[in-house]
Structure 1
Amino acid sequence: MEDKIVVITGANSGIGKAAATKFANEGYTVVMACRNLERSKSAQQEIIDATKNPHIDLLQLDISSFQSIRQFSTVLKDKYPKLDILIHNAAYLNHGEKNYLLSQDGIELSFATNTVGPFLLTRQVVSMLEKSEDARVLHACTTNIRHFFEPKRTIEFDNLQGEFKNERPFKTYKFYGDTKMALLLMTFKMADELKKQRISVNAVQIPAIKLSKETINKFQSGWRFAARIQNAFSAPRETMADTYFHICTSEEFKNVTGKLINDKRKVMEPSHYSKGLTQDIKQLMDQNVYPKYADDPENIEKVWDLCVSLTSNPVSRV
């Protein structure tokens, strides 16, 4: 399978590393797209040693930076003739952060990392994906989007560049949820845009998964303790890595595009439940549905237009 090439962002730890190991075990050429090369080299070597697959490449990528994305894409095109699978696994969530942090392009950091960056990277490598006989793109979404079952919950479209950083308190968990919902909305639109090129684009809903030590150590002290408690009840990372692999390689999902898939590998649908306390409870318990907010054409176009605008006319902080 060395002629099959997969790019995995954030492949140096957590689910990303587990997924890189899974694909390597299956004989794929794996490109680990990671922000910190020095910290990632040991993970690269561990995967090579564990799988006996020498075709594990490591390239620098800061998915929150337009410049880094373009540089990564140029290097990737120079090194490889095509791309079969692109997995947007990297994400930013700094538990306990109380300040608005902007990327070097002037975009709220979690939105730049979790939504706009994946949008730009996919567009940059479309020409490589077109050369594959079975090109697939996968976005890592989370159960956090289920907060949008709350009717009043919306994405703060007016505050994604810190416009109200001096007036609204920064809530890192809410912003993370907004970016993952935006990623799902973008998934639906991108799937339509790339249908003619025979490139499938799907999202996967990730439940509570054991966090790596590297990820936990990035949390502030109070959140670090809570993460360790959660880890005791969470599924191993390898289960999600297997799901990534199945969605991106199986015949079952070969012709599936523009869908949200849960960790049980079932295609999810927008919620059909009506209003009422009993209906709300059933809706929250049903892991086969997602909030109708994600199915709203206006919301989909809003995210798409914003991503197009930001990547076409980046605002530099320098």
Structure 2
Amino acid sequence: MLLVVIYYSVVIAISLYITLFLLMLIGVFLYMLLCESEKAVCKSNARLDGKIALVTGGNQGIGLETARELAARGARVIIACRGAEKAAEAIQDIVATTGNKQVEYMPLDLSRFSSIRQFAADFNNTYDRLDILVNNAGCSGVKPRYTEDGINLVMQVNYFGPFLLTKLLTGKLIASKPSRIIIVSSILHFVGKINVDTLDKLFGRAYAGLFYDYNNSKLCGVLWTKALAKKLPEGISVNCVHPGLVRTNLFRRLPMLYLAVFYTVCWLLKCKTPKEGAQTVLHLCLSEEVQHVRGKYFMECREAKHTRLADDEDFVERVWNKSVEVIS
């Protein structure tokens, strides 16, 4: 009897893997056919000597490649993340590949408002300007839970944390005009569905709920971009970006079955490397043509259509007001 149970359990597991694999393969193939048939490259030759750039999550993935290229252009780059050891490795790598020794680490934990406030205070006391702010850090694949601030973890790391950080650094961005804010969103914002009144709460406690949290956080990023474009003074470029389907470890905490399917599909379809995924982020950091562009959503180094929800000014304002309430 035990052998029969084991046999059918294995068969079910294999069948589930195959089903997930095929569904994801079809979905990713259609996405790449429609959205990433061409992997765009940032063509700007701009230099950043004398400029200061802050990249959250700059110790790995897209953030690391963004920080590397900004350093290569002569910027003083601040890498903001949690892990000092991994940040030190990233800085050593960047200095070795660019020759720019002006790469620094500052501790930042977006899941704790106290850490964000301390970071902002330290930054504002240390630096006299901020030319480029890249809100790149994010998380997914973690078990649904609340932070010490009583907020949905994924929503806080991906949205409320960057929202507070940007608010606290706005003075430096204004003083450094022309300056830029780049918000890393995702094409998954199209399937986000938020309730403004429960914006900071968990959607659900299962992994299915977690995916909704991620999508919703990226939708909030697009709405936040729209709101900032209206509220910030002229001279501050603020836009959001879908970097593409990139082979990073963002989803490393997913259940093993999901993770195996994801990496298998990425390998088969040759999804983007982190360097390729950073190109549209860099386009928004560097290109002169977007210096005066505000409130837009970009893919493959060009403006793209976003969800219609972002065109509803009343809805955008309600989300903004709720967000201010949450971080207060």
TM-score (norm 2): 0.80
Quote the Cα distance in structure 1 between the aligned partners of 2:233 and 2:246: 32
What residue is the counterpart of 2:177 in the other structure? Answer: 133
What residue is the counterpart of 2:215 in the other structure? Answer: 177
What are the superposed Cα offsets for residues 93-130 of structure 1, whole Å, 9 maximum, x if unpaired? 116x3xx3111111101111111111111110111111
What residue is the counterpart of 1:191 in the other structure? Answer: 229
Q: Is the 8 A contact 2:156 2:200 kept in 1?
A: no
Verify: 1:298 aligned to 2:314, yes or no: yes
- In structure 2, the CA distance between the partners of 1:161 and 1:216, relative to structure 1 (3 Å rule), is closer
- In structure 2, the CA distance between the partners of 1:164 and 1:25, relative to structure 1 (3 Å rule), is closer
What amino acid does structure 2 have at the position aligned with 1:156?
A: N
How far does residue 290 in structure 1 lie from its aligned partner after superposition?
Answer: 2.2
- In structure 2, the CA distance between the partners of 1:163 and 1:50, relative to structure 1 (3 Å rule), is closer
Q: Within 5 Å, give how 1:58-207 maps onto structure 2.
A: 58-94=105-141, 97=143, 100-147=144-191, 154-162=193-201, 171-196=209-234, 198-207=235-244
What are the superposed Cα offsets for residues 167-226 of structure 1, whole Å, 9 maximum, x if unpaired? x98611111001110111011011111034x212110122211214xx454333122212
Quote the Cα distance in structure 2 between the aligned partners of 1:129 and 1:47: 25
What residue is the counterpart of 1:266 in the other structure? Answer: 302
Query: Runs of at least 4 residues of structure 1 off by over 3 A?
Result: 156-166, 215-219
What amino acid does structure 2 have at the position aligned with 1:241?
A: A
Structure number with the higher helix fraction is 2
Verify: 1:54 aligned to 2:101, yes or no: yes
What amino acid does structure 1 have at the position aligned with 2:97?
A: A
TM-score (norm 1): 0.82
Q: Is the 8 A contact 1:2 1:55 kept in 2?
A: no
What residue is the counterpart of 2:264 in the other structure? Answer: 229
Question: Match of 1:138, SS?
Answer: strand
User: Unaligned stretches of 5+ in structure 2?
Assistant: 1-47
Q: Is the 8 A contact 2:131 2:180 kept in 1?
A: yes
Quote the Cα distance in structure 1 between the aligned partners of 2:76 and 2:54: 9
Verify: 1:239 aligned to 2:286, yes or no: no
Q: Within 5 Å, give how 1:4-23 maps onto structure 2.
A: 4-23=51-70
Q: Is the 8 A contact 2:237 2:290 kept in 1?
A: no
Quote the Cα distance in structure 1 between the aligned partners of 2:130 and 2:203: 40
Quote the Cα distance in structure 2 between the aligned partners of 1:164 and 1:27: 43
What residue is the counterpart of 1:41 in the other structure? Answer: 88
What amino acid does structure 1 have at the position aligned with 2:66?
A: A
What are the superposed Cα offsets for residues 227-264 of structure 1, whole Å, 9 maximum, x if unpaired? 3113312112212323222211211101101111112x
How far does residue 159 in structure 1 lie from its aligned partner after superposition?
Answer: 3.6
- In structure 2, the CA distance between the partners of 1:236 and 1:297, relative to structure 1 (3 Å rule), is same
CA-based RMSD = 2.0
Percent identity, please: 30
Which of the two has higher C-alpha Rg? Answer: 2
- In structure 2, the CA distance between the partners of 1:164 and 1:17, relative to structure 1 (3 Å rule), is closer
